[in-house]
Structures are given as structure tokens and as C-alpha cells.
Chain A
Amino acid sequence: MNVSYRLLLAAALICSPLLAKSLSAQNGAPAAGRERRAVPPKPIEHFSDGTVNLGISSQERGLWLPLDRTDLGRRSTLAPVDTIPFQPWAKALYDDRQIHELEPHTRCKASGVSRQFQTPYGVDIVQMPDLNRIYIFDVGGPHTFRIIYMDGRPHPKDLRPSFYGHSVGRWEGDTLVVETVGYSEDFWLDRTGLPHTEKLRTVERFTRTDFNLMKYEVLIDDPNVYSRPWSGGFNFRWSSNIELFEYVCQDNNTAPVLMMKGDEPIVLQKPFVP
């Protein structure tokens, strides 16, 4: 569907709710959905070194978004909640977070894993084979990037915990496997508040099953929080004809002040105030 047709359709939809009704009644499905089925997905590309291209291609630019916005809802997470092997304290914390939602992301903390794939703005995966690195650029959050080292290096000792820890990756066929340690506790694992500690280790598996779909699986291993390692995941969808754009959470964020008890003056003695 070309852009002008889309515009026309959008204009028609806005101008005439009746027309919109009759259109969807005729088609039995939204027009865009039918169009998507009609066009076979583009072929997946590979780089000259044989690795599969997980990002933009010669065919089109785009970003990866969560497949379905319902994946972002409060009730869904990396796995059904009743299958997650929480330790009791962690379940209590998780339940509490459902009521007292103070997600660090809303206060412009960097997203962390797997939260970075659950923003409504998307990520760009940039492979640099000659540097032995893959970069993930976040749109949502404070405009942050993440590095995955592909040169076989080990995790260093004495890592200072950080939002993205230290990630090393390898290819298993066309699946990118990324192991990460050295996370800080300053983010939530997912949008619904799954807890973790600095002991967290993740193993993420990225598989571009077709041009428009990325299967994302993650192993969560944190013996402080969960009674055993467990796996979850969700899918990303390719959103075409957009590209990285500037979103800076700090732009108009007043949450830090709100978090400091509303109208009370900020106490300068607190260390977090510069």
C-alpha cells in the first residue's frame, strides 16, 4: 500500500466513521492486516561474513517493536506469572510493585534487559562485523546504547554493576546468543516489575524467523530471586520505514520531583541531588 493511498484511507476513516464501519464489515479484517498477508515477507539478508542481518538492510530501514502492544500490558510478562519460580520475598515484591508502581523507567533510568525491548519506540540492532561488536540503540529511555562483544572475550572480573552489564555474544546458526552479567539493580527486568539482583545472569537468544519477526527468548538466572533458572520471551515485529529518532526521557520528566514526595522541597543533603 503506498503512502498516498494510506493517507486517503486515513482521511476517509477520520471523515466518516460510517464509511470506516462499512469498510471493515466488508473486508472482515482491517485493510492493513489483509495487505500484510497478501505480500510475502522479504527475504532475510546475510552479511558477507555469512552472519544473518538482524537490523536494517539494503531493502528498508526500520526498528524492532514489541509484536503486540498487549505484550506491554500489566498482566503479561516474559512468562505467565504463575509459572515463574519466585522466591517468596520476590513474589511479595512483585505483587507490591503491581500496586505501588514506581518503575525506574518512568524516572528516566536506562531500560536494562529485557525492558529495552518493551518500549513503544523500538530498538535498532547494528552489526559491525569488522569491530566484532553488535550495538543495540534504544529509542525509549534516556537515549542509550548497549554493546555486545562478539570477539570471544570473557566477562571481566570486578564489574561495576550497570544497566546493561557486560554482554558477550556468539552465533548458533542464525541465532544470536548473548550472555550478560554485571547488572545493577536500578531497573526492572520487564515492564511488570520482575525483580532481580546483581547476581542476575541472562542468556538471550535472538532469531529473525522472517524479515518481519524476531523471536526473543531469555533465560533468567538469579539465585537470589528465583528458585531455579527459567526462560521466557516474546516476539518483536519489524516496523518498516522508520528509523532511530531522538527521544530523550529527561526532556520533560518531572517524576524525580514527584517521587520525592510531591510539594516538599528537595533536600540538598540527599546525595542524589547534584
Chain B
Amino acid sequence: MANQGRITLTIAGFLLLALLHHEVLGKFDDKKSMTLNGVVTSVEWKNPHAHLMMNVRSATGVVNWAIELESTNDLERSGWTRESAKPGDAVRVDGIAARDGSPQVWARSVVLTSTGKKILDVRPATPPVVKQSQPTPLWPDGKPRLGPPPGGTGYWAYPSAVSLVQQGTSVPMDANGLLRNIGDVDKVAPFQRWARDLYELRQRNFLRDDPMFLYCIPPGGPRQYQLPYGLQFVEDRNFQRIFVLIGSGNRNFRMINTDGRALTGQLAGDADNPLYYGRSVGKWEADTFVIQSAGFNEKFWFSNGGLPHTERLRMTERLSRPDFDTLKYEVNIDDPGAYTKPWSSGWTLRWVAGEELPIYFCVENRP
């Protein structure tokens, strides 16, 4: 029974993951439900979120409303295309209204008035079933392959945790790291006072100030392992570097040097310039790939949920692949600028076999 309960919880977690990518509640108020009837004027089939523009007639005249939908990746995965709603279609939209009173709605359902058919809804993505039967793929020297087997295809996604939380602690939160109970703030990490208060402020604002979403800032730090479109490793053993291909941001990448260099910067030297992805060097310790990173700037959120960090952040990540379908991720956070002591967090990701890393560009719908 205990097992069954855990499975149900896990599935509920994945449902959330599939349904919310950016903190919708930062912009929309789930206590303000509304229904709109109108005519589609245009379709914006672009990431991060697709939109229908729609004319709605009222006593005071016609207003053009923006109807915000899920990402095009999720809509397409559920069988919808940019032709699924066309200008001129009469639709009924049920959703929640913008907090600031502007004419925009987060759609919970879109129905074609003419047929009564529901369109543009998103089926929750089903995580792949973990098969314990397949062994970890290996390089000829016996080290685990972090990416696909030779000639294979796949990537890592469906993280089992969506935000940094110090090890040994359980804190309920949604898919974007928004706490279910704001009273849990102090459980999340060994914050210094200012960092705790900033974290709480970001939480109380429903994460609406997230620069990754607002300005398409890269998901540096552990965050690249928390996002819905996953990541991939390209191990360029010929030239001693590993690339992390990131399914979020703007189809970003991060380079980890494995050539034994010091953690001081690129060949030409840029050690003084703080970066979004920092500088990373990695090496194998038995079957675990250990990455040391430093040189981060402070202009991004390094985790879902808005945990702060400073330029003093040093990060040790440990990657292992206990079986074909599982990537184990552990991270140690050492940031004396924001936390009272070094602390650790970790989770697993699942192998999505036979599929390409989704194509996702945050900048798509920007002007």
C-alpha cells in the first residue's frame, strides 16, 4: 500500500509538470475564473506559450483578448497544430483572469462554438516506463555513457524533483517550485537572512519576476536539470569536453572541459567575467562524473522556485547512470554569500528513448 501511495504521488507530480511550465499564477489569478465568447482574430503559435487573439463583444464595444495556452511543444504532443484554431472561428474560452485586470486569460478550456468540440487541450505527458533490464551503456574504457548508445537517440527528462531542497527534507511545491505552504520557507535551504527574505518575496510574488521567463535568460546552475524539456549530453572524447544540450532557454548549451585544466576560464582567459553557465571542469571518479563549477553571475535564478545565489557560488555536481534509463543527479551548493553552510540536493531524470531533445526557443514570441 505504501508503494502504491508513492506511485500515485509521483504520477500527480508528473501531471503538474506537464501542465505548468512557467508560473502561470504569477500573471493570472486562479481565484478569478471567467468565460469568454468571441471570434479568433489571430493565432500566435510560438513559445514559450501559444496565444489566441480573440475579439469579444460587450456592451461597451469590442475588446481584443489574449488567450494564453500551453507551449507549442505540449500542444503538438497532444495532436494540435497551428491550424487547429483559425481566424474567424467562434470559440468559448473558460479560464482564469490576469491579476492586473488587462484583457488576457489563461485558458483552461477552449471549445469550438460550432461543434462543441474541445480543442487545444493538453494531455499530460506520460513518463517512460523504467526498465531495469537494460544495463548502463559503456564506453570501451568501461565508463558509463551519459548520452545515447552509439547510433542511438534519446534524452533526459522528467526530473523527480523540480527545485533545490536540502537533502533529507520534504517540502510540497508545484512544478515551478512554488511552495504549497509559504511557512515552509526555512525548510528549503540553510539561507542567510537576506537570501531567505528574497526567496520568500519571490515566492509571495508567485515567481512572476523569474528572469528566465521574463527575458529568456539562460537556465544556469542546477536549473537546467529541472525543466520540462530535458537535456542531453554530448561527450566529445576526441577533444576532452562534454556538452550539455539544454531543451529550455534558447536551445542553449554548456561546455564542461575534461582536459585537466584549472577552473580559471577559457583558453584566452576570461576568469574575471561572471557567466550564466559559469566555468566547468569535470572528471570521472569511478563511475561518477564529477563537475566543479564556479564563475557564475547573479543575473539568473539558479533553481526553480527562486532560490538566490551570489557570484561566490561554487557548485559540485555528481552524475551517474545506475541503469540505462536513470540519471542520478546530485549537487552540492557552496555559496558563502547566500547560505550559512554548504548543502546538497539531488534527484533523478529518466531516459526518453528514441526521441530527439525538443526544439524550444524562449525568444520565439518576443518582439
Contact = CB atoms under 8 A, between A and B. Distances in A.
Interface of A: 47, 55-58, 61, 107-110, 126, 128, 130-132, 135, 137, 141-145, 147, 151, 158, 160, 162-164, 184, 186, 241-246, 248, 250-251, 253, 256, 259-260, 267-272, 274
Contacts of B214: 274
Interface in B61-104: 64-66, 68, 72, 76, 81-82, 98, 100, 102-104
A99 B346 CA distance: 53
CB-CB nearest 5 A-B residue pairs? A271-B51, A142-B250, A268-B102, A130-B150, A246-B275
Nearest to A240: B267
Nearest to B100: A268
Given A126-B243, A260-B367, A110 B251 contact: yes
Interface string B1-37: 0000000000000000000001000010000000000
Interface string B134-148: 000000000000011
A160 B72 contact: yes
B215 interface: yes
B328 interface: no
Contact of A144 (B150, B250, B270): B250
Contact of B76 (A57, A160, A186): A160
Contacts of A126: 234, 236, 243
Contacts, number: 138
Interface stretch (B118-126, B175-183, B192-200, B356-364): B356-364
B252 A107 contact: no
Interface in B251-301: 251-253, 255, 266-268, 270, 275-277, 299
Interface in B213-229: 213-218
A272 B366 contact: yes
Nearest to B214: A274
B186 to A, nearest CB: 30
A274 B22 contact: yes
B250 A128 contact: no
Contact of A110 (B22, B266, B299, B361): B361
Contact of B255 (A131, A147, A163, A244): A244
B268 A241 contact: yes
B98 A242 contact: no
A160 to B, nearest CB: 6
Contact of B151 (A47, A131, A253): A131
Most buried by A among B103, B148, B270, B364: B364
A270 B367 CA distance: 10
Nearest to B82: A160
A163 B367 contact: no
B216 A142 contact: yes
Interface in B339-363: 356, 359, 361, 363
Most buried by B among A108, A143, A251: A143
